[in-house]
Amino acid sequence: MRQYTILRLLLAGFLFYIAWPYITLGTTLIEKIFWVSWLSFLLLVVGSNFATLLQLSRPPVMEQVVQRNRMRG
């Protein structure tokens, strides 16, 4: 699970690296709205992956049961 999280963060960073030069080229209102929504979605993706990486949220109930069984057995 940790490898997938790191891979998603790297992919998001790569897409941000590719998009960075084009953000300043947006001149019309539609283009600015697109870039603001794209950057906010990127922020959500990065934030959720960091939360998963740092285990800030509890895993779902099904995964908690499996982890308890592994600890006992």
Residue 72 confidence (pLDDT): 64
Distance CA 41, CA 60 (A): 24
Residue 3 confidence (pLDDT): 86
The whole-model pTM stands at: 0.69
The residues of the chain scoring below 50 in pLDDT are none
Host domain of residue 42: 2-72
Q: Is 26 exposed, middle or buried (0-12, 13-18, 19+ CB in 10 A)?
A: middle
Q: Is 33 exposed, middle or buried (0-12, 13-18, 19+ CB in 10 A)?
A: exposed
Domain count, the chain: 1
Residue 57 neighbours by CB under 8 Å, 6+ apart = 51
